[in-house]
Amino acid sequence: MMTEEYEPHIEIAPNVHLIRGENRARFPEANSLLIDDEILVLVDAGSSLRNIERTVQSCGHAMKDIDQIILTHFHVDHKGHAAEIMNLSQCELLCHPLAKQGIESLDGTVEFYGIKGHQYYSSWRELIDIRLPHVVEDYQVTGFFESGKTISFGETELIPVHAPGHTKDHTVFGINGTDIVFLVDIDLTRFGPWYGNAVSDIHEFRESIQRILALEPKVGISSHLLNPIETNLRERLLQYLAIFDEREQRIIQNIRQGINTIRSLARVPTIYPRIPMDAYLIFEEYMLEKHIDDMVSHGIVEVDGEEIHLK
């Protein structure tokens, strides 16, 4: 694997540091934030422990000084090292009420992913064991944040804005207002929106992007891009939103060519550019199912048994 040198952290607002994930913050890594205020707060814990530690130390603190972890949603690449950090710092752990079950145990995570008993479950479990062995430990959420209710850390404030769709608990955060928004997994990557879980929803995802557009943020911080988006953020969000329609068009084209079951559409694949391991077929199938449901509700297709037909 190519490794590229870049600063492990950059300051994005006074006392607010973006901790970059390894490998350009691509899954299974993700960026985190460190807020170095009256209390020391980590927002998500999915960057490498090395980068988290280097950031904490460069602010003159030790890992045991972390007072609080806030998790944006239950995903494994975001909860990351939360269990280890809680063990060594005895910190609090806050999340959205809808995230609790998915965060506290691997069983809960599996339930939210919707992969219990799936034929490719063992492939997903293998991915976890190889790439994310630190996320299998159970632990306790100690409190909740409330969407729209400002959290103050001293001089710094976060405004949680519930933005479901990616997952039902997914929350983005305004940093000292809403000019700078931690967009989390409305991640503005070229791949586009991801909604491959039982608890994902296309309609909600679209609405959440619209809600963020209405806030007219100037700077967007993605969980999976190294740098803040400081120019053309509105256009970037609109391009990202348009990917739902582009995928729908690809599905329609494939159905026209007789590729008209979820299984056969997934084998192409239709949404992922490629399927690196069987676990990704689960996500491809979930995303396709959500499109088909959405297209049925809009009268674009009808479903007869396993077959999907254009209307």
Based on the shown chain and the rule CB under 5 A, indicate whether residue 248 belongs to the binding site for Zn ion.
Answer: no
How far apart, in whole angstroms, are the C-alpha atoms of residue 271 and residue 23? 23
- Pick out residues in 220-239 that bind Zn ion (CB under 5 A): none
Based on the shown chain and the rule CB under 5 A, indicate whether residue 75 belongs to the binding site for Zn ion.
Answer: yes
How far apart, in whole angstroms, are the C-alpha atoms of residue 284 and residue 115? 13
Among 44, 104, 169, 185, binds Zn ion (CB under 5 A): 185
Residue of closest CB approach to Zn ion = 75
Is the bond preceding 28 in cis, omega lying within 30 degrees of 0?
A: yes
Residue with smaller CB distance to Zn ion, 24 or 256: 24
The stretch near Zn ion (CB under 5 A) out of 126-134, 184-192, 255-263, 276-284 is 184-192
Residue with smaller CB distance to Zn ion, 191 or 300: 191
Q: Shortest Cβ distance from residue 28 to Zn ion (Å)? A: 11
- Cα separations (Å) of 295 from 125, 165, 268, 300? 32, 17, 19, 5
Q: Shortest Cβ distance from residue 243 to Zn ion (Å)? A: 16
Q: Shortest Cβ distance from residue 163 to Zn ion (Å)? A: 11
In 54-198 the beta strands, taken as DSSP E runs, fall at 68-70, 92-95, 143-144, 151-152, 157-162, 171-175, 180-184
Residue 119 is given by DSSP the state: T
CB atoms within 10 A of CB 87: 12
Q: Shortest Cβ distance from residue 115 to Zn ion (Å)? A: 15
Size of residue set near Zn ion by CB under 5 A: 2
Q: Shortest Cβ distance from residue 110 to Zn ion (Å)? A: 15
Residue with smaller CB distance to Zn ion, 89 or 171: 171
Contact 280, 272 (CB under 8 A): yes
Residue with smaller CB distance to Zn ion, 71 or 265: 71
Long-range interactions of 270-278: CB distance < 8 A, separation 24+: 271/247, 273/191, 277/123, 277/126, 277/127, 278/120, 278/123
Based on the shown chain and the rule CB under 5 A, indicate whether residue 169 belongs to the binding site for Zn ion.
Answer: no
- Pick out residues in 22-61 that bind Zn ion (CB under 5 A): none
Residue with smaller CB distance to Zn ion, 112 or 153: 112
Q: Shortest Cβ distance from residue 166 to Zn ion (Å)? A: 6
Nearest residue to 81 via CA among 19, 37, 39, 7:
19
Give me the residues that bind Zn ion (CB under 5 A), please.
75, 185
